[in-house]
Structure 1
Amino acid sequence: MIVTGCGGGHSASNSTESTSIVEDSLNMIRPTYAQGFKVSYRGDAILLDINDPENNEAEKFHFVLTGKDYEGDLPEGYTRINIPIESAICMTSLQLSNFLKLDIPEKVVGITSTRHLHNEKMNEQLKAGTTHKIGIEGNFDNEVIMAINPDVIFISPFKRGGYDAIRNVDIPMIPHLGYKELSPLGQAEWIKVIGLLTGKTVEANQQFAGIEKRYNDLKAMVDTVAHRPTVFSGEMRGGNWYAVGGKSFLAQLFRDAGGDYFLKDNNESGGVTLDYETVYTNAAHADYWRIVNSFDGEYNYNVLKEQDNRYTDFDAWKNQGVIYCNMKEVPFYERMPVEPEVVLSDFIHVFHPDILPDHKPSYYHLLKK
């Protein structure tokens, strides 16, 4: 039996008598829903294998996690990382959300955009200079990155990120592919990867266990509903309608909330670009319309009408069925990935108000005017 402590890379105990099964489960990382990472325990080393959950043919990434004094053999093709890490750069708010949920924002020493950053501690760190802006995707400031010299950089390798420009800084780059997961719990489970790397495995397992229980308890409340309202998503921008496919984690959220996504027969998991006619054909009579954006001032049905008069042709506009989230007002990206059960509650409250009548919306609310 191999048991690692919170630090992961410290000496493993081989005693089956002194360590209980409960302690094993709290200390060891085992993904249940996430399809993008695997963890294997090999004595005093831990193997972390990362792959694209959407594409088995895509590039795979391999890391061996050890204590700093480890002198054993390293498997071929694996990049060594000493754990626990003390500092990291996050390229996305999704990555940052894991650190915030584990209450270790001080370990994040570099971030990209602060456009929608709400977290008080992170803003204080930026002001104090303990966390730095490193530029934007495709235009990173290598001098700032090298001056920060973090233990690792978390990246989204299958996005257009311009990471080739920072490969020569000789800092391990770890893909964080939570955004590629096909289920809300799969996305949230990437908190375990951050827990493993930072020595917070117990906390990560406990946090996720709570998320999982609350999510599944809520899902069970609507599993047998008689009526499943239809919901569509997205907006017109530059002549195209941007939505997500029927196999996306958002579509799964709608299903788990007792709704039907308007592209439920679509087999794509990422973003999809549609023309207006296609959306109207499939969503003209949908019950609800989910919108997320950043808007100055009060967002309402007149604003939608002014943006595109064709919006008024949808039943969801006529019957005031718009479910809205304003990223200027709520910490959408920095908390939502690790609070899928809260988002689920918001949707259930709208789709089936009799089931959660007293719920107070956190991210999404029904536009009233």
Structure 2
Amino acid sequence: MKLIKKLASKTIKVLYQVCLIATLIVACHNIEIYTSNTTNDNTCVQNYDSNIDYFPNKIKITHATGLAVEYHKHYKIVTVKNPWQDAKTGFQYILVQCGTPIPKEFNQAQVITIPINSIVALSTTHLPHLAKLGVVDKLVGISNSKQVNTPEVVEKIKAGIVEVGNNTNLDVEKLLELNPDLITTYGTGNSQTDSYTKLSEVGLKVAINAEYMEDTPLGRSEWIKFIALFFNQEKQAEEIFKEITNKYEQIAQKAKFVKNRPTVFVGFNFKGTWYMPGGKSYVATYLADAGGNYLWKDNRSSGSLPLSFEVVLERAANADYWLNFSQSWQSVKDLVAEDNRYTYFKAVKTGNLYNNNARVNESGGNDYWEGGISNPDIVLSDLIKILHPEVLPNHQLFYYRKIIPSSTALYLPFLGETRENFDLAYVK
């Protein structure tokens, strides 16, 4: 009897072990089947299944008018509608999930395999987006390291990064050696200076980022989603932009019902022409949201208006504030030295002069044109602080500073108005 009990006990143990092993095998097999047909943000598909949606996280464009995305199960069609002023055509990019078939109906030059693992950014405005998305480690090349202000990229530069030149003077051989998965650039419509065509012709994957064509601050900031599409970082981009939007709208609400709206004009006389932003431009939107009365608000243009000094003086002579002028002006003395007619403006006499050059690095790189694009809530806070200091009593100016009235100006490094800043700020 004891022998029978021992045999029965051993049999039960053996059966239990067999069942346990079988369960583990089935479980492991199921896990393998699941992971082999799907993908996370940074891996390739191992066994393609046409029934699976490989992009469960999708973005929705809410403010940017020049960007669109259409999702298919294993690829995305990204459309840049308005790449530059008066553009006759847009651009499409087919972003295909790694490990899945490439759609045959598209030009192969348009096809980019995602998620990308290396990127070259030819504009500093693209860098803050990379930092916010946490993908600066994928950055292998930039245009000019001296112009960079984004802290994460500055650290990357210290560790070593390739400089490939600017839009008009690119080192194509360096780019071919790097052979990045993607190059982001911008266009102006000038075939002699734009880099898009020459880079595409040598077989490099290039995408035009047209954020500077947007008419609103939030529209420009939303182009973080454009960058995110190439990294399959839709979820992160949606969360980041939602936070930016909420902050911006909450701050704008505080200035919405101010009783007094001071008159404002911007810009300066650049080589005989004063480029004044139109009434439908992002600058006009900023000033309206900040509780200002922009003197060209009734104009219907979203671009810049080329005006004469006399036309500007006629309308803005008695304006309360003058903002956004030459980066080189450190004091009223510098302003007057360039053109003594500037003294005719009331804003010069009262000292209501504020410039967006508070964060300029030692080589002249202005963070307003870099970090300011992705932080419109901070720019708006600065403008409200200038026009209505009582609305945001605790805010300290970040991108803006008041022009020093005396000749004892603090030193601000300056290399002149860069071509990139002129193209992106004054042309649009």
Place the TM-score, normalised by the shorter chain, in its bin.
0.7 to 0.9
Which of these residues, 273, 282, 285, is aligned with residue 315 of structure 2?
A: 282
| Shift in alpha-carbon separation, 1:264–1:331, aligned structure 2, 3 A | same
| Shift in alpha-carbon separation, 1:114–1:269, aligned structure 2, 3 A | farther
Question: Match of 2:145, SS?
Answer: coil
Question: Match of 1:355, SS?
Answer: coil
Question: Match of 1:136, SS?
Answer: coil
CA distance in 2, matches of 1:68, 1:233: 47
Instruction: Check the 8 A contact 1:88/1:151 in 2, yes or no.
Output: yes
Equivalent pairs, count = 356
**CA distances 1:277-312 after superposition (whole Å, capped 9, x unpaired):** 0110121111111125433xx812222122211111
Cross-structure match for 1:303: 334
CA distance in 1, matches of 2:128, 2:304: 21
Give the Å deviation of 1:91: 1.5
1:331 maps to 2:367: yes
Q: Which runs of 5+ in 2 are unaligned?
A: 1-37, 406-428
Cross-structure match for 2:410: none
1:201 maps to 2:234: yes
Cross-structure match for 2:181: 151
Letter in 2 for 1:349: K
1:355 maps to 2:391: yes
Give the Å deviation of 1:165: 2.9
Instruction: Check the 8 A contact 1:84/1:199 in 2, yes or no.
Output: yes
**CA distances 1:323-346 after superposition (whole Å, capped 9, x unpaired):** 112252562222110000000000
Cross-structure match for 2:150: 119
**CA distances 1:242-298 after superposition (whole Å, capped 9, x unpaired):** 332222111111111111222212222223322100110121111111125433xx8
Cross-structure match for 2:98: 68
1:84 maps to 2:115: yes
Give the Å deviation of 1:33: 0.4
Give the Å deviation of 1:157: 2.4
Give the Å deviation of 1:199: 2.6
CA distance in 1, matches of 2:52, 2:96: 20
What percentage of residue pairs aligned between the two structures are identical? 31
Cross-structure match for 1:367: 403
CA distance in 2, matches of 1:158, 1:281: 31
**CA distances 1:88-122 after superposition (whole Å, capped 9, x unpaired):** 11111112221122232222222213343223442
CA distance in 2, matches of 1:56, 1:237: 22
CA distance in 2, matches of 1:8, 1:55: 38
Cross-structure match for 1:19: none
Give the Å deviation of 1:365: 2.7
1:341 maps to 2:371: no
1:315 maps to 2:346: yes
Correspondence list, 1:125-140, <5 A: 125-129=156-160, 131-140=161-170
Task: Indicate the structure with greater strand content.
Answer: 1
Farther-moved stretch of structure 1 (36-45 vs 114-123):
114-123
CA distance in 1, matches of 2:199, 2:83: 25
Letter in 1 for 2:65: Q
Give the Å deviation of 1:348: 0.6
Letter in 2 for 1:134: V
| Shift in alpha-carbon separation, 1:125–1:105, aligned structure 2, 3 A | same
Question: Match of 2:82, SS?
Answer: coil
Q: Which runs of 5+ in 1 are unaligned?
A: 17-22
Cross-structure match for 2:133: 102
CA distance in 1, matches of 2:353, 2:150: 27
Letter in 2 for 1:341: D
Letter in 2 for 1:162: D
Farther-moved stretch of structure 1 (266-275 vs 227-236):
266-275
Give the Å deviation of 1:50: 1.5
Cross-structure match for 1:267: 300
Instruction: Check the 8 A contact 1:53/1:181 in 2, yes or no.
Output: no
Give the Å deviation of 1:58: 2.5
Instruction: Check the 8 A contact 2:83/2:187 in 1, yes or no.
Output: no
CA distance in 2, matches of 1:104, 1:304: 41
Instruction: Check the 8 A contact 1:222/1:256 in 2, yes or no.
Output: yes
Instruction: Check the 8 A contact 1:94/1:179 in 2, yes or no.
Output: no
Task: Indicate the structure with greater helix content.
Answer: 2
Farther-moved stretch of structure 1 (181-190 vs 6-15):
6-15
Instruction: Check the 8 A contact 1:232/1:262 in 2, yes or no.
Output: yes
Which of these residues, 232, 238, 256, is aligned with residue 265 of structure 2?
A: 232
CA distance in 2, matches of 1:154, 1:190: 12
Farther-moved stretch of structure 1 (53-62 vs 175-184):
53-62
Give the Å deviation of 1:28: 1.1
CA distance in 1, matches of 2:219, 2:182: 23
| Shift in alpha-carbon separation, 1:269–1:96, aligned structure 2, 3 A | same
CA distance in 2, matches of 1:201, 1:127: 29
Instruction: Check the 8 A contact 1:231/1:290 in 2, yes or no.
Output: yes
1:211 maps to 2:244: yes
Farther-moved stretch of structure 1 (258-267 vs 117-126):
117-126
Cross-structure match for 1:180: 213
CA distance in 2, matches of 1:8, 1:60: 30
**CA distances 1:62-101 after superposition (whole Å, capped 9, x unpaired):** 1221222111534435721111111111111112221122
1:162 maps to 2:194: yes
CA distance in 1, matches of 2:71, 2:49: 10
Question: Match of 1:81, SS?
Answer: strand
CA distance in 2, matches of 1:183, 1:9: 37
